[in-house]
Chain A
Amino acid sequence: MPSDGNVPDGSEPVRRGPTEAGAGDEILQVRRLVKVYRGAATPAVDGIDFAVRRGEIFGLLGPNGAGKTTVLSIICTLLRPTSGSVTLCSQDTRQSPARLRGLFGLAPQEIALYPSLTAWENLHYFGSLYGLSGRILRKRIEESLALVGLSDRGDARIDTFSGGMKRRANLAAAILHSPRILFLDEPTVGIDAQSRNLILENLRTLRNGGTTIVYTTHYMEEAETLCERVAIMDRGKIIADGSPRSLIAAVDGCSNLEETFLCLTGRHLRD
């Protein structure tokens, strides 16, 4: 059980660490966000607030069905919120979604690539849609493939790739246009340790280059080592947020983020 006694009943989230940065330093602000799907009895997202600062890696954690993907979909202009607001790069996503779409990149949970096309052809297509062309497009494709360790496999079809290579190619497509903020939905699920390690290294490289990263994961160890801050979601609410270290310290008897996560969200199955 948490030491401060206000979790995990969900009524008061744990707040540990510098969650309130200056407004000018925040690239993403989510305010009182609510999403109720048609016909659903309970909201998928239930009035959450959080902010992400420029240049940080922010982890959105939670069990299955917690609402993480719904939050990412709303931020990425794929879903309309029922209420609340999302401000990205100082602009409300509902006011100017078309303009904002060029500022962020998304690597969906699925391998969102065309399997019968080569990695190069996939990146060429997506790069063209981002408005890149000619030499600049070719340079960005080469850089993206190099970053994910696929320089020598650019001419191979995606359906010949291993799971780890597909994940890396999926990431390459999201960073092709040098986005200011990168959203990653479970970017390391189902791949070997080597590919996961390479992807995490890539994310640090991108962060060091100034890219803000928001990502969801089920791997707590990964989030603990990579993220400056995390928010733990459960049943559509944020039940805790802060730096991994501060969250671990706030819950009695927990020595790592996974134990803290289980203490906060419970051990029962979420199907």
Chain B
Amino acid sequence: MTTLLATIRKELLELRRDRAGILVLLVMPMALVLIVSLVQDNVMQATGETPIRVLLLDFDGGFLGRAVEKELRADAGLELVSKRSGEITEEAARKAVVDGEYRFFILIAPGTGAALREQVRRRAEDSFVPASKPGKRAAPATVPGLTIHFDPAVQGAFRTAVVNSLRRVMLGIELREKGAALSDTIERMMRQGPGGGIPLPPGENAEKPPPSIRFELDTEPVLKLGEAADSGGRSPGRPTAAQQNVPAWALFGMFFIVVPVSGALIRERQSGTFRRLMTMPISLAGLLAGKVIAYVLVCTAQFVLMVAVGAFALPLLGTSGLVLGPEWPVVGIIALSAALAAACYGIMVGVLARSYEQASVFGAVSIVIAAALGGVMIPVYVMPRSMQAVSVVSPLAWGLNAFQEVFVREGTLGSVGPNLARLTLFSLATLSVAWWSLRKSRYGE
């Protein structure tokens, strides 16, 4: 315990003396959060060219589902997986979206196609009225339509693009149906002779020439597109720029602690201090634990400052701020887990690297790579499939997924548990590598 406390105190003292280092550690990530959140406030959009996996739940099983499927398959930007009733439930589809298998799913409720045709037929008939009796037509009815369920983490502009695209598809189908219905109605009216089967007012002679008929095209769409609150039915809103960027870049900043941590270890080895420490009656585990705890405290301070910037500074600059929500203790636990992973990884890099240059370059580059893979820079779902597969091994992806689970999907400790477990295992694994590597040089461990 003495080793632990003495080491924590010493590490913090050293950090306090390195004012430039503290500035880099605390101010740079804050600037990063601020700038990226502002820059991306209006341009959050998926720009990748990788097809997005989409699930179509065709519970209608008729012409409508086939038509929607045909139109969506023609879109190179989408990779469509179509399921019928009995093959999957709506609940299972929601889970598949929450799990990241699909970015959204489209539900065609049973009977939608038949209801669409019925409504279109009625409207086609109502479109022809005697010129003498224009009257007031009944308000057009609508059918249940299609519902789209997004993963809440899907960014705003991308959602808009998807919804607009789907509306165009639906409008095309509806127009075809309307055209067919009109054609049928006109044909039937012509077959029925003068008057076209339209009831004539009392006193008018059916033998007279047919009355003039006015065609009023109903432009009101029959088929509506509904957007569900979210895929899991938990979150009321969409993620803001702050919700996307603050946790992402906070993680990025926290993991950059690998540079000072590994640098401090290299300096200890190069200066002979570590050699001196190894001749002292202390346990290696206690020494490493002291270093880890000191740097976890620093990372936590980083996170608190970055969250403060997101919550208080961003609104002052005219953009939406970060709202921690009722699950803020879970946010704290995620931050601690990520800080632990970052500190342990830094210790491992510092132990394995042979020089300060190796440690700083490898440490920094590996964090940038992990951040890119983890979805900090662009969302994972717009990456190529191979990169999406690799992203699951990035600690930043685990941290970011956990944060998004809380911020965007109102996740709980239970729902972020798997990602917390991954971060903890990563911490233990990296610290074990460091401990094992050091103990080789010191017998009696």
Contact = CB atoms under 8 A, between A and B. Distances in A.
A12 to B, nearest CB: 33
Interface stretch (A122-130, A215-223, A232-240): A122-130
Interface string A99-121: 10110101011111111110001
B278 interface: yes
Interface residues of A, number: 35
Nearest to A81: B443
B444 A97 contact: yes
A126 B280 contact: yes
A262 interface: no
A117 B281 contact: no
A156 to B, nearest CB: 13
Nearest to B444: A97
A77 B280 CA distance: 10
A77 B10 CA distance: 24
Nearest to A104: B279
Contact of A76 (B9, B17, B271, B279): B279
B441 interface: yes
A111 B267 CA distance: 12
Contacts of B7: 125
Contacts of B271: 110-113, 115
B272 interface: yes
Given A112-B275, A112-B276, A116-B14, A131 B2 contact: yes
Contacts of A121: 10, 13
Nearest to A114: B14
A146 interface: no
B443 A129 contact: no
B279 A129 contact: no
B442 A77 contact: yes
Contact of A106 (B2, B17, B279): B279
B315 to A, nearest CB: 38
Contact of A78 (B279, B281, B282): B279
A129 B272 contact: no
B2 A133 contact: yes
A97 B443 contact: yes
A131 to B, nearest CB: 6
A7 interface: no
B18 interface: yes
Contacts of B444: 77, 94, 96-98
B17 A116 contact: yes
A140 to B, nearest CB: 15
Nearest to B273: A112
B277 interface: yes
Given A108-B272, A110-B272, A130-B280, A79 B17 contact: no
Contact of B14 (A96, A117, A174): A117
Contacts of B280: 101-102, 126, 129-130
A125 B17 contact: no
A207 interface: no
Nearest to B443: A80
A221 to B, nearest CB: 25
7 smallest A-B Cβ distances: which pairs? A110-B272, A97-B444, A128-B6, A112-B272, A116-B17, A108-B272, A102-B281
Interface of A: 76-80, 94, 96-99, 101-102, 104, 106, 108-117, 121, 125-126, 128-131, 133, 157, 173-174
20 contacts: A77-B442, A78-B279, A78-B441, A94-B444, A97-B444, A98-B281, A98-B444, A106-B275, A106-B276, A106-B279, A112-B273, A114-B273, A117-B10, A121-B10, A125-B9, A128-B6, A129-B281, A130-B281, A131-B281, A133-B2
Given A78-B441, A97-B443, A111-B272, 11 more contacts: A77-B278, A98-B281, A111-B271, A112-B272, A112-B276, A115-B271, A116-B14, A116-B18, A117-B14, A125-B6, A129-B277
